Amino acid sequence: MSTQPSAAEGTVALSAVELDRRRYRRQRAWRSTAIAAVSTLVFAGVLLVAVTHAPGWEQVKSTYFSGSQFSDSFPRVLHGLWTNLRILAVAEAIILPVGLTVAALRTVKGAVFFPVRGILTVYVDVFRGIPLIVLLYLIGFGIPALGESWLPSSGITLGTVCLVLSYGAYHAEVFRAGILSVHPSQRAAARSLGLNHAQTMRLVVLPQAVRAVIPPLLNDFVSLQKDVGLVSILGVIDAVRAAQIDNYSTYNYTPYVVAALLFIVLAIPSARFADYMLARQIRRQQAGAVV
C-alpha cells in the first residue's frame, strides 16, 4: 500500500501573503455565520409573531399543542410506531431483493425470456402507476372478500403485501437505472474474460450498480417509512391509527402532532445517512477519476 506523502505543514513558516489570505478567509467565514444566525432569528421571530397573533391562535394552541394531551397520547402513539417499524423492516427486507431481481431479469436478452421481460415491465408500470392508497383498498379489502381461508386476511400482512408490490416497482426502477449507469466497457471486459451474462451481472455489474444507487434507495426508504402509516386504513393500529383513536375520543389533534414528531425522528437518521453516502460517493468519483 502506498501512502500519500503528507504536506509538511508547520515545519516551514508561512509567508505573509498566505497569513493574510487565511485571515481574510476566517473573517469571511465569521461574517457569513453571523449573517445566517441573524436572518434565522429574524425569520423565526416574524413567523412566531404572525402565528401567535392570528385570530384563532388560542383555539389552535389548545387543540394541537395541548401539553396534557401530548403526554397522555405519547405512549400509545409510540407503541403504534413499533408496529410501523416492524412492518417497515419486513417490507424493506422483501422489497430490496424483489426490486433487484426484477431489474436484473429485465436486462436478460434472448427470446426465451421475452415473456418474463414482458410481465416484469407490466408489473413495474402497473404498480408504479397505482396510488398506494388505492392499492390498499383493492387488495386490503378485496382479498378478504374472496372468502378463501388460505389467503391472508390480516391487515398487517395485506398492508405489507401492498407496500412490497408498490415499492418493489420503485426499487426495481432505481436498480435498473443503476445497472444502466455501469459503463458498457465494464461488461465488455467481463465478457471478454469468458464470463457469461449471469456471471457478468452478478460479479461485475450489480455490485457497481448497487453502490451507485444507495442514495436514491435511501430516499425511497424514507418515503416508505411514511407510507407505512397508510396501512392504518386497513385497521392496523400503527402510530397514525393510534393517534386517530385518541383524536376521535377527545376531539383533540395533539396526538397527530405526536405522530408527526415521531415520524420526523424516524426519518432523520435515514436522511443523514443518505447525505453521508452521497457525499462519500462524490468524493470517490472525484478521487477515482476513471477514464
Partner 1 sequence: MTAVLNVSGVRKDFGDVPVLRGIDLQVSEGTVVALIGGSGSGKSTLLRCINLLEVVTDGVIRLDGEDITDPRVDADQVRRRIGVVFQSYNLFPHMSALRNVSLAPRVVGKLAKADAESRARELLARVGLADKANAYPDRLSGGQQQRTAIARALANDPRLLLLDEVTSALDPELVGEVLDLIKELKAQGMTIVMATHEMGFAREIADQVCFLDQGVVAESGPPEQVLGNPSSPRLRQFLSRVLRHE
By CB under 8 A, name the binding residues for partner 1.
1-2, 185-186, 188-196, 199, 203-204, 207-208, 211, 284, 287-291
Long-range contacts of the stretch 217-220 (C-beta < 8 A, 24+): 217/96, 217/171, 217/174, 218/270, 218/271, 218/273, 218/274, 218/277, 219/274, 220/167, 220/170, 220/171, 220/174
What is the smallest separation between the CB atom of 210 and partner 1, expressed in angstroms? 10
With respect to partner 1, which residue has the nearer C-beta, 68 or 196? 196
DSSP 217: H
Choose between 28 and 284: whose C-beta lies nearer to partner 1. 284
- Grid cell of 249 as nine digits: 375520543
Q: Which residues pair with 12 in a beta bridge?
A: 9
Q: Which is nearer to partner 1, 41 or 189 (CB)?
A: 189
When the beta carbons of 122 and 198 are compared against partner 1, the nearer one is: 198
Name, in order, each residue with C-beta under 8 angstroms of 98's C-beta and a sequence gap of 6 or more. 164, 168, 171, 172
The residue assigned the cell 419486513 is 90
